[in-house]
Chains A and B, each alone.
Chain A
């Protein structure tokens, strides 16, 4: 813990020194960024924009994870589905995020739906690939056991499949969250009238580095909170049956 703290303080110190060398216009000092944060927080703009962006992240993430996981499990369990869906997956995986965003806005208009769909579509294929690996690794012996004891489909999912898929879901979530929030900012920059991405875009036009840093740091803090308060406890919860490692 102390090592982390020292490392964080070193980062702040380097920032301070860098600001002295580059000048406050190119790299404002930490105190200036903190002051800008306070101003944005006081008139409520900060929390509104953070909230709007977070809502988009949650919506796009949920859609991508649920649809992506379901497709991944189907592909991992059925050779036919795998063969049918694989080419689509490869195309989607290799389509640049920007292309998906631009096309979504052209076909769907500059709407909330188009924005969230574009982000979800960017994340979906990687969730599918991860969960497909997970479904392929499901223990056939436990499946036999579940069939011998006539587990219901719901019971199989809850007691046999999901515990085995949990590490894959956690890994897809972690990679997904960081990917989704970065893409949400781009989507907001291009076609939304609010949110952290929009604010950073307007700050860029004014060359306001202080506000750019203030908003990005605030949002990094929010995502760090999500990681610490949701992702890590989930991982600990699903791993509770594992014998403690030495």
Chain B
């Protein structure tokens, strides 16, 4: 039995509080695979955390559980009201038959026109507002998907490998823009990525996952603000993270 979307009591102010007893999948042949067992994760308000791990370790599964897209598990998850959740998927997942501005409006019916205009400007897509997604480049479509997630004025932002399959330069540019916007709004964010560099650039907390069923092998807080991280410090954090991941490996 799963208890989902438990209303947050006065003692649990955290935007996301995940306590999973077990999450498993059934394979085609009826075999049971346990992906997560006794897994807990709590994000404090304003925290920007990155879940890092090899592909297939259960990061995306965890994100889907956190988003409420998958309710087949045992445990408890407390999250903000459902309409204050912004999500960016691995693919843009825009409605191809709705223009850019309509995509934002449909996803965030309560957002004001001026708020949406401001978002379009912030993501440099104000010139594309009446285009259809089929007329956008890959990078432009990602920007629209990001703008859509912010349009609901999220209390919790969930990002599932948002820059995967973009070329490196474009991904870096988008990452820098996203970092600036996240910094401004202090939106509590959970980023899923397999790219440690991306995680260090965006997050102030790194959560390394590994194993099957997956567990947290390292939980590293990065004290320096995003702008002040020197390349020396970044390599130090990276070495630390890689070292702990290696130590945890069987």
Closest to B85 in A: A148
Specify the main secondary structure of chain A where it touches its partner. Answer: helix
Q: Kindly identify, within residues 42 to 101 of chain B, every residue whose CB is under 8 Å from any CB belonging to chain A.
A: 64, 67-69, 82-83, 85, 87, 89, 91, 93, 95-98
B124-159 contacts to A (CB < 8 Å): 132, 134-135, 148, 152, 158
In the complex, whether A241 has a CB less than 8 A from a CB of chain B is yes
Task: Give the bracket for the number of chain B residues in contact with chain A.
Answer: 20 to 34
Q: With A147-B68, A147-B69, A148-B87 given, is the CB distance from A159 to B135 under 8 Å?
A: no
Given A148-B69, A149-B152, A155-B106, do A243 and B83 touch, yes or no (CB 8 Å)?
A: no
Q: How far is the CB of A191 from chain B (nearest CB, A)?
A: 44
Q: Which of A142-158 contact B (CB under 8 A)?
A: 142, 144-145, 147-151, 155
A105 to B106, CA, bound (A): 48
Given A141-B89, A142-B93, A145-B93, verify A150-B98 contact (CB < 8 Å). no
> Which chain B residues lie closer than 8 Å to A148 at the CB level?
67-69, 85, 87, 158
Interface centre among B82, B96, B98 (most CB of A within 10 A): B96
**Cβ of B108: which chain A residues have Cβ within 8 Å of it?**
149
CB atoms of A241 and B132 under 8 A apart: yes
| Residue on B nearest A158 in the bound complex, by CB | B106
A243 touches B135 (CB 8 A): yes
Please give, as numbers and ranges, the residues of chain A lying within 8 Å of B134 by CB-CB distance.
241-243
Chain A CB count within 10 A is highest, among B69, B87, B97, B132, for B97
B107 interface residue per 8 A CB criterion: yes
Q: How far is the CA of A144 from the CA of B106 in the complex (A)?
A: 15
Question: Taking the nearest CB of chain A, how far is it from the CB of B108, in angstroms?
Answer: 8
A163 proximal to B (CB < 8 A): yes
Does A203 sit within 8 A of B, measured CB to CB? no
Smallest CB-CB separation from A147: which chain B residue? Answer: B69
Q: What is the bound-complex CA distance between A181 and B136, given in angstroms?
A: 44
Specify the chain B residue showing the minimal Cβ separation from A164. Answer: B97
Q: Does B109 contact A (CB under 8 A)?
A: yes
5 more A-B residue pairs beyond the given contacts A144-B89, A149-B83, with a C-beta to C-beta distance below 8 A: A142-B93, A149-B148, A155-B106, A159-B106, A238-B97
A residues in contact (CB < 8 Å) with B: 141-142, 144-145, 147-151, 155, 159-160, 163, 238, 241-243
Jot down 8 A-B pairs with beta carbons below 8 A, ordered by A.
A142-B95, A144-B64, A147-B69, A149-B85, A149-B152, A160-B95, A163-B95, A241-B134
